[in-house]
Amino acid sequence: MTNDETPVISISNLHKSYGNLEVLKGVDMTAPRGHVVSLIGSSGSGKSTLLRCCNLLEDSQDGEIRFEGEPVRWRGHGLHRHPADKGQVIRIRSNLSMVFQQFNLWAHMTILQNVMEAPLTVLHQSREEVETRARELLDKVGIAEKADAYPAMLSGGQQQRAAIARALCMEPRALLFDEPTSALDPELEQEVVRVIKALAEEGRTMLLVTHDMRLAADVSDHVVFLHQGRIEEEGPPDALFGNPQTQRLRGFLRATEA
C-alpha cells in the first residue's frame, strides 16, 4: 500500500562494487514524494552509480532498494545478486525516467518520435493518446515547433529539453537527472535550468546529480554530499551550502566556486 508518506525511492545500506572496486559503501537515501534531492560530490564519488542503482540499470551487492515501499526482490548474493523479477524491474525503471548528460536521443527518429517511443513500446499506450501528450510536453519545454525535426538539427539545450519531454511522457513517479546541464554552453544551460526549476515548482519528485551548486541550492529540498562512496554530509540546502560541517564539504565547495 502506498500513500503520500511513502517515499518514491528509499535506499538503505547500499553497497556496489565493480569487481574489486567498492564504489558505494553503505548508502542510505530517501526521495520523498514531491521532493527534489540533489547529489553532489567530486568526480568518481559514486553519484552516477547511485542514480543507476536506483532504477536498476546497475546491480548492487548488498542493501535494500524500495520503490514506493515495495522492496526490490533479489536472487543470489554479493557479486551474484541480481533482480529476481524482470516484470518488477521494467515497472520500476519505467517509473523512474532518467535524463542523461549526453541527451541520448535516437538520431534516426524525429523529436516527436523520440518522445513517443517508450510509451508506445514499453507501456503499449494508444498512439493517439501518446501523441497528444507528447505534443503538449514539447510545448511545455518550449520546443513544440521542433516536433518533426531530427536531433542533429537542434541545439544542445533544445535536445536536452526534448530528452526531458521524453522522460516526462512516461508519466514517471520520479525523474532522475544525471548532470543534465554539464554538456551545455552557459546560455543553453539556462534554458534547461528553467525547465528543471518549473518541474520542481510543480512538485515533481526528482533526484538530481549536478555540478551546478546554484541549481542544487535553488531547487533542492535536500542535498546529499557523497565522498568516496559514502555520504559525508547531508541536509537542507541552506545548511549544507551556508554552514558546511565537514572539512571535506568545505573543501569541495571552495573548489567548485573557483
Ligand X SMILES: Nc1ncnc2c1ncn2[C@@H]1O[C@H](COP(=O)(O)OP(=O)(O)OP(=O)(O)O)[C@@H](O)[C@H]1O
Q: Which is nearer to ligand X, 1 or 21 (CB)?
A: 21
CA–CA separation, 9 vs 205, rounded Å? Answer: 10
Find the part of the chain contacting Mg ion (CB under 5 A) among 47-55, 149-157, 195-203, 228-236. Answer: 47-55
Residue 39 CB-half CA count within 13 A: 32
Find the part of the chain contacting Mg ion (CB under 5 A) among 29-37, 46-54, 149-157, 243-251. Answer: 46-54
Q: Which does 44 bind (CB under 5 to 8 A by kind): Mg ion, ligand X, none?
A: ligand X
Contact pick of 48, 159, 160, 205 for Mg ion (by CB under 5 A) = 48
Output the smallest distance, CB 224 to Mg ion, in A: 14
Q: Which is nearer to ligand X, 58 or 117 (CB)?
A: 58
Find the part of the chain contacting ligand X (CB under 6 A) among 6-14, 26-34, 42-50, 62-70. Answer: 42-50
**Rounded to a whole number, what is the largest CA-CA distance in the chain?**
55
Beta bridge partners of 224: 39, 234
Work out whether 49 is an interface residue with ligand X (CB under 6 A). Answer: yes
Nearest to 66 by CA among 47, 43, 88, 86: 88
Q: Which does 49 bind (CB under 5 to 8 A by kind): ligand X, Mg ion, none?
A: ligand X
Please identify which residue in the block is written with the cell numbers 519505467: 94
Work out whether 18 is an interface residue with ligand X (CB under 6 A). Answer: yes
Sign of the dihedral defined by the CA atoms of residues 256, 240, 200, 71, in that order: positive
Nearest to 96 by CA among 177, 213, 216: 177
Q: Could you please report the per-residue DSSP string of 170-237?
A: T--SEEEEESTTTTS-HHHHHHHHHHHHHHHHTT--EEEE-S-HHHHHHH-SEEEEEETTEEEEEE-H
Find the part of the chain contacting ligand X (CB under 6 A) among 46-54, 65-73, 105-113, 167-175. Answer: 46-54
Helix or strand (DSSP H, E) at 62: strand 62-67
Q: Which is nearer to ligand X, 67 or 100 (CB)?
A: 100
Q: Which is nearer to Mg ion, 48 or 159 (CB)?
A: 48
Q: Which is nearer to Mg ion, 48 or 181 (CB)?
A: 48
Work out whether 224 is an interface residue with ligand X (CB under 6 A). Answer: no
CA–CA separation, 59 vs 62, rounded Å? Answer: 9
Work out whether 102 is an interface residue with ligand X (CB under 6 A). Answer: no
Residue ranges binding ligand X (CB under 6 A):
18, 21, 23, 41, 43-49
Residue ranges binding Mg ion (CB under 5 A):
48
